Structure 1
Amino acid sequence: MKSKVELLAGGKDILFKSLFFPILVLILITSLYFYLPHNLSSLMSDLDMRSNDSVPLNMKSTTATPLHASSNDSLSVSSEHKCNIFQGDWIPFPEGPYYTNETICVIDDRQNCMKFGRPDSNFMKWRWKPSECELTLFDAKRFLELVRGKTLAFVGDSLARNQMQSLVCLLASAANPVDVSTTTDTRFRRWLYTEYNFTIAALWSPHLVRTQYYGPEGNNANNLKLYLDEADEAWAEQTENVDIFIISASQWFFRPFIGYERGQIVGCHMCSERNIRNFSTCYGYRMAFRTAFKTFLSLKNYNNKLVFLRTFSPAHFENGDWDKGGSCERTKPFKKQEMQLEKYILDLYMTQVDEFKEVKKEGEKKGLRFRLLDTTRAMVLRPDGHPNHYGHWPQENKTLADCVHWCLPGPVDTWNEFLLHMLHMEEPTLTGKKLKKNDREN
């Protein structure tokens, strides 16, 4: 006859065996959830839950339009009614676009889709509709009045320049600027609207932090050192002289680089270096924004500055990566149930949001205003808005598709509709200074 000890041990063994496989299955399902693509509607629901208190601009009435709404804080919750302009859908807009590629404004050839023969124009005929309110049409004169006497700088990569070009084209219906750039490098272009004493500046800084090329190949984007705790002087030197910053960064963080902090190697991304730990894209991304935000917090004279974080802009390659024959052939927006969205977009978005939350708290203590310009939600639905193969003449025989940048005119114009809405909310406290004429030569 078995003893009580033997019976107890046998019972534990049976219990372990009976629970082992269900637990294993649960672990596998959980792992698949985090590593497989998500349906867009479920991912957006996840995004809403995780960033519920991080998205700006609540309104008091569903009938009020953004330019006449009020909000005490960009992360506040209205006691009467919540309306988030960044949650919504794209609706047909037959009156669009605001401008054409013949407008007197600068459209980079790579984004001038109609110039290079794009056969469809429906991508210009959609407008963002928030779920519970209206987003007022872009008013160029109103925008220029709000920024009179100020300097606005777009800091980031070519997508930051994409937004700047959109803004210049949108403002062309009210005024044309003078090119006051102090360098021939178009990545550091400056425009002055003399009647309004308003300057727009583009400050090229794709990683936001100091970078250095290494290796025998010279300026090879795949041989980079990133000093993750040192802000790039290309924009950091201008912090005292700019009133409104729009900070963004995205696709360059997918490339290989070696990361440094305090002058020492801390790891690398997508590199084959021995004895160096490999960290994720999100680590470098997080540190870059953290460093950028700390740069603003370290200012001695805030001058009531306004800093916008423009969130991640997704690419829409299908049937392969950018260098594997991928393209973006679609001609209308996605519905939320149609798309399988890679989880990395949510990860990068939430990395930005997490860093934003922290710096906003610190900024409030010091009188420095940080605001979230949340373009990600709207843009994941616009696979039709990229140049694809229409960013160059057909005879140039370029095989790579551009599913990263946005056609002009196109959905990127919505970013500046959002911006106008948010500037209106800040109107009581907007002040201005001029940008120094010492743009950094590259």
Structure 2
Amino acid sequence: MKLRAGGGHELLPFGKPPKVVLLVTFSFILLTLISVCHPFKYWQPINYHKASSSSPSSSTVSRVAVSDGGGSDVSVAGSVVGAAGAEAKECDIFSGEWVPNHRAPYYTNETCWAIHEHQNCMKYGRPDTGFMKWRWKPFGCELPLFNPAQFLELVRGKSLALVGDSVARNQMQSLICLLSKVEYPVDASYTSDEHFKRWKYQTYNFTLAIFTSPHLVKTKEADSDGPTHTGLFNLYLDEVDDQWSAHIDGFDYVIISAGHWFFRPLVFYENHRPVGCHFCNVPTLPDLTKFYGFRKAFRSAFAAINHRKGYKGITYLRTFAPGHFEGGLWNQGGNCLKTTPYRSNETALGGDDMELYLIQIEEFRRAEAEGRKRGLKYRLLDTTQAMLLRPDGHPSRYGHRAEEKVVLYNDCVHWCLPGPIDAWGDFLLEMLKTEGRRSREEKKLSSSGRRLG
């Protein structure tokens, strides 16, 4: 219904507009026109998902910024810079969720020969395939999926070594499979020992190596059975394992990792004498816990890297990837039967896993500060949060044929291939791209007499 007043003019329901309303309306129209012609720059706060309120954010240790998928490039300062030069947002690629990816997997157990038998889940009868069809989505940006041709171009003429336990080998096999769409490597090993393999991508003159060293320091198996029937190991915490440390000179990238072997019974040695143990059942030795040995082992490993005069490469710490045993310990019937990932609000890092993660971060910071004095670079490959959310990605009992008479526990530590561990290739490639941009910027600043902050 239309209301009428005064001299017969058709009016708005509230009557004749006061001057202040006209002024506000005119101002709003003016501001709208200005914003269309000259867009304002908006800054979105970073949404960091932390393992706990007291845990250090990975962003404070090694920030990696990525494109938001709109053709943006990334500045060395850590913020994404758009194609038009407008500042957008920076993003922690290690904080996010798993989202469906129906295009995966990008290889199979039939197309890639590098899959270890115990991680060949499809070969040995795993009935579901959904665990292969996810990708990691950081909060606030997109993490590009692995591009094998781009990766090989970035590492042309270079070399990468992985140092650690069988999960490090798991990572190497994942990388070989991801690269298999472009090229397979040839065996360039100096020994027949499968624990120390070197692969050469001949077209790209790129070497990929694995140095198996579950404890990173010198280790001797004192008893193949031990108190828990899983062996007893002597760890010489102040003596690094020279089977890897003496061979990293000349490598451009070295990825250090360790973790699950520290849950087994251990006797700790320092200055050639026992100082304590973990689950060793020796009355004369104090129980120093696995955390003591874990910290000292990483400290020794990083110190060895920082003191090698011939090493000039970039050191990556690949953080602890938690196992997912439920219903018992790994050697007491524990299993992992979930078929979908957790959401980030459904679980949290805690207990032993949190302690191991925090120790790694603390020792990483110490090593990074020391290495900086020598001009060495350290980077954090923080896989912990992403892998915490993947209880569905382990081999469980599908690491051998059901009828085989073998003594194997349910495997809730390693990762099926194809599977969640392939996302480590996405992380690594993005970090290498960021490293290249940073290197170019450093050269520019160096030529102008300035330094990158």
Q: TM-score, normalised by structure 1?
A: 0.81
What is the 5 A alignment of 1:3-402? 44-46=50-52, 49-51=55-57, 53-59=59-65, 62=68, 68-72=73-77, 81-215=89-223, 222-303=231-312, 305-339=313-347, 342-397=350-405, 400-402=409-411
Cα 1:53–1:412, aligned 2, differ >3 Å: closer, same or farther? closer
Deviations 1:282-309, CA, capped at 9 Å, x for gaps? 1111111111100111022343x11100
CA gap of 1:186–1:73, structure 2 versus 1, over 3 A, is farther
- TM-fit CA distance, 1:97: 1.0
Contact kept, 8 Å, 1:151 with 1:198, in 2: the verdict is yes
Structure 2, unaligned runs of 5 or more: 1-48, 80-86, 441-453
Tell me the amino acid that sits aligned with residue 182 of structure 1: Y
- The worse-fitting range, judged by mean Cα deviation, of 249-258 and 96-105 is 96-105
Provide the secondary structure at the position in 1 that maps to 2:195.
helix
Partner of 2:36: none
Structure (1 or 2) with the larger CA radius of gyration: 2
Secondary structure at 1:166's aligned position in 2?
A: helix
State the distance in 2 between where 1:138 and 1:60 align.
Answer: 13
In the alignment, structure 1 segments of 5+ residues that lack a partner are: 1-42, 431-442
In the TM superposition, what whole-angstrom CA distance separates every residue of 1:319-352 from its partner, at most 9, and x where no partner exists? 1111221111111001233347541111100100
Give how far 1:82 is off: 3.2
Q: 1:221 to 1:242 in 2, by over 3 A?
A: farther
Q: Partners in 1 of 2:343 and 2:435 — Cα distance?
A: 33
C-alpha distance after superposition, 1:387-420 (max 9, x if no partner): 0111101111556211010000000000111011
Q: Give me the whole-angstrom Cα distance separating, in 1, the residues matched to 2:118 and 2:384.
A: 22
Cα distance in 2 between the residues matched to 1:383 and 1:120? 14
How far is 1:315 from its partner?
A: 0.5
Structure of higher RCO (CA pairs closer than 8 Å, 6+ residues apart): 1
Counterparts of 1:221 and 1:208 in 2: how far apart (Å)? 19
Secondary structure of 1:288 counterpart: helix
Taking the aligned partners of 2:224 and 2:208, their CA distance within structure 1 comes to: 37
Letter in 2 for 1:170: L
Q: Deviations over 1:181-201 (max 9, x none)?
A: 233322212110011111111
Partner amino acid, structure 2, of 1:185 = D
Counterparts in 2 of 1:104 and 1:408: CA distance versus 1, 3 Å: closer
- Alignment check: 8 A CA contact 1:105 1:172 kept: no
Does the CA contact (< 8 Å) of 1:319 and 1:326 recur in 2?
A: yes
2:294 counterpart letter in structure 1: Y
The 8 Å contact of residues 55 and 84 in structure 1, kept in 2 or not, is answered as no
Q: Aligned residue for 1:31?
A: none
Distance 1:47 1:348, change over 3 A: farther
Whichever residue aligns with residue 222 of structure 2, its letter is Y
**Preserved contact between residue 213 and residue 244 of structure 2 (Cα < 8 Å):** yes
Equivalent residue, structure 2, for 1:3:
none
Opposite residue 288 of structure 2, the aligned amino acid is F
- Deviation for aligned residue 1:106: 0.6
Q: Structure 1 155/64 Cα, relative in aligned 2: closer, same or farther at 3 Å?
A: farther
**Is residue 425 of structure 1 aligned with residue 430 of structure 2?**
no
C-alpha root-mean-square deviation of aligned residues, in Å?
A: 2.4
CA distance in 2, matches of 1:367, 1:357: 15
Q: CA deviation at 1:367?
A: 0.8
Matched residue SS, 2:392: helix
2:7 aligns to what? Answer: none
Counterpart-to-counterpart distance in 2, 1:194 and 1:412: 25
For residues 113 and 47 of structure 1, what CA distance do their matches in structure 2 show?
36
Give the letter for the 2:423 counterpart: T
Deviations 1:49-101 (A, max 9, x none): 533554423438645679x4233479xxxx96331000000000000012111
> Aligned residue for 1:9?
none
SS of the residue 2:420 aligns to? coil
Q: Which residue of 2 aligns with 1:40?
A: none
Output the CA distance in 2 between the equivalents of 1:198 and 1:114.
30
Amino acid at match of 2:74: A
**Separation of aligned partners in 1, 2:328 and 2:430:** 37
Partner amino acid for 2:52? D
How far 1:204 sits from its partner (Å)? 0.6
Q: C-alpha separation between the residues in 1 aligned to 2:248 and 2:405? A: 42
Q: Distance in 2 between matches of 1:110 and 1:357?
A: 35
CA distance in 1, matches of 2:107, 2:54: 33
Percent identity, aligned pairs only, is 49
CA distance in 1 between partners of 2:135 and 2:327 (Å) = 27
Counterparts of 1:182 and 1:171, CA distance in 2: 23
Which whole-Å CA distance do the structure 1 matches of 2:297 and 2:88 have between them? 38
Cα offsets for 1:115-162 (capped at 9, x unmatched): 111110000000000001111111111111111111111100000000
